[in-house]
Amino acid sequence: MSVLTTILWFLIAIGTLVVVHEFGHYLAARLAGVKVLRFSVGFGKPLLSRRFGRDRTEWVLSALPFGGYVKMLDEREGEVPAAEAHRSFNRATVWRRFGIVAAGPIANFLLAIVFYWALFLHGLPAMKPMIGEPPAGTPAAQAGLAAGDEIRRVNGNETQSFQDLRLNLLRAGVAGDALVLELANGHSVRLDAAPMQTENLEQDVLRPLGIVHYDPEIEPVIDKVVPDGAAARAGLRAGDRVIAANGTSMANWQDLVRSVRQHPAKPLRIEYERQGQRGVLTVVPDAVEEAGERVGKIGAGPKIDESTLAMLMTEVRYGPIDALWRGAVKTWDMSLFTLEMMGRMVMGQVSWKNLSGPLTIADYAGQSAALGWISFVGFLALVSVSLGVLNLLPIPLLDGGHLMYYVAEVFTGRPVSERTMEIGSRIGMILLLLLMSFALFNDLQRLIGG
């Protein structure tokens, strides 16, 4: 994926989410009778500007594409003609102001629900929650789980796909709950797991539990060869059946992967069969860094036949009402999960390394778009939820900060003083700056490697 397409998808993603967020504010303001002067996507210098609508609202596309704003009539920001004073934001009741400010994040949640609803209606291909042979000594092995077991529920929560399984195990693990798994065959087992390592959630957190993907035996026949990869350079081709590596016979693809991984930048003598003819050649696997380990890769993929794939895959699909409900539940779950993770970062239980910023989002935007529109829509829904949650945090300058002031106003009966707000926005500025600095630091570190 080139840098330019990544930027393009990032702009599409951010643009959609910002427009929806600001449109939430806009609609609520209209409903509350507050006059909207300007609707801007982006900050800074206006690039394009058109006036239309009942109030001659100015619709603007601005230079800096990292957000947007809705500017409302407000007596604290400038002269307001007496005839229009009743339509200014500061004159609206506290409930109306609360509604206008809350409408932005709410619009983001609604968008996520709509997107998830569409995805559940359409049907999502997913890996079955079927596990592979648990490594000896792991909690899963001790509990008697075996290859091919399908896990249907974790602590009572339904797991339709491997992703569901992962999410539920992660949530229960981070919370330190005991794990009760219900299997498709009606049995139910209990895992005695140590508290989960939360230093880096991007690494495989399920491995210590002994929960691994079901890995059907695949024939050691090469189907795809990456151009310029080690396999291609050595002369291996699609259709070649690998018979042995360094004299050890290869019964299946997994055997081959194992020996290749153990030989980063070290020669591997491959015996193979091509159209009935036997041959021998030497491959030097490329050395690759993977989760802190140096492993070998040759840039070749196996042939996986349709029936194997069909056995592994399932489609998650629901009817309109059910899908809507599930979309809402999923949005709610993701919001809580996001909030929980943020809370744990503040408490120091989860590393700040998990915080990602615009570059990682851009990277994921590009990657998910390359995988097709289903994954892109799923990605948009996820980021929309994060945006909604982030904006609700009680930090001055964010929507949540304003809501915090309005709550205070409801209790004290008068607006929070200008001075308090000024101090608040300074603190908020510093907090946001620190947060963004952290996120950007992590992003860049992922790029250039630390």
Partner 1 sequence: MTPLFRRVLTAALLLAVFVPAVLWAPAWLWAILMAGLIGMAAYEWARLSRFPPLSARAYAVLLTLCALALPQVLGADWPGYQTALILLAAVFWLLVAPLWLLGRWHAAHPFVRAVVGVAVLLPTWAALLYLHARGPGVLLGVMAIVWIADTAAYFAGRHFGRHKLAPVISPGKTWEGVAGALVAVALYAAVLSAVVGMPLLSLLIMVSGLLYLSVLGDLFESWIKRLSGMKDSGNMLPGHGGVLDRIDALTSTLPIATGLLMWLERSA
Footprint of partner 1 on this chain (CB under 8 A)?
3, 44, 433, 436-437, 440-441, 444-445, 447-450
**CB of 43 vs partner 1, minimal distance in Å:** 9
Residue 332 or 441 with smaller CB distance to partner 1: 441
Main-chain phi, psi angles of 441, to 5 degrees: -55, -50
Specify the residue, 48 or 433, whose C-beta has the smaller distance to partner 1: 433
Taking the C-alpha atoms of residue 153 and residue 13, their distance in angstroms, rounded to an integer, is 34
Least separation, in Å, of the C-beta of 39 and partner 1?
A: 21
**Strands 188-191, 179-183: pairing kind:** antiparallel
Max CA-CA distance within the chain?
93
CB of 447 to partner 1, least distance (A): 5
314: its two tokens: 């399932």
Beta-bridge mates of residue 245: 248, 270
Beta carbon nearer to partner 1, 187 or 426: 426
How far is the C-alpha of 169 from the C-alpha of 189, rounded, in Å?
A: 14
Long-range contacts of 237-244, Cβ-Cβ distance < 8 Å, separation of 24 or more: 237/274, 239/274, 239/275, 240/272, 240/273, 240/274, 241/272, 241/273, 241/274, 242/270, 242/271, 242/272, 243/271, 243/272, 243/273, 243/278, 244/270, 244/271
User: Which CB, 243 or 397, lies closer to partner 1?
Assistant: 397
Q: Find the DSSP H helices in 33-161.
A: 94-122, 139-142
- We find the least distance from the C-beta atom of residue 110 to partner 1, in angstroms, to be 31
Q: Which amino acid is at 374?
A: I
Pairing of strands 241-245, 151-154: unpaired
Would you say the C-alpha torsion 358, 363, 364, 368 has a positive or negative sign? positive
Q: How far is the CB of 203 from partner 1 (least distance, A)?
A: 19
In terms of CB distance, is 11 or 407 closer to partner 1? 11
Label residue 384 exposed, middle or buried (CB < 10 Å: 0-12, 13-18, 19+).
buried
Residues identified as active-site:
22
Whose Cβ is closer to partner 1: residue 265's or residue 410's? 265
Minimum Å gap between C-beta 446 and partner 1 is 10
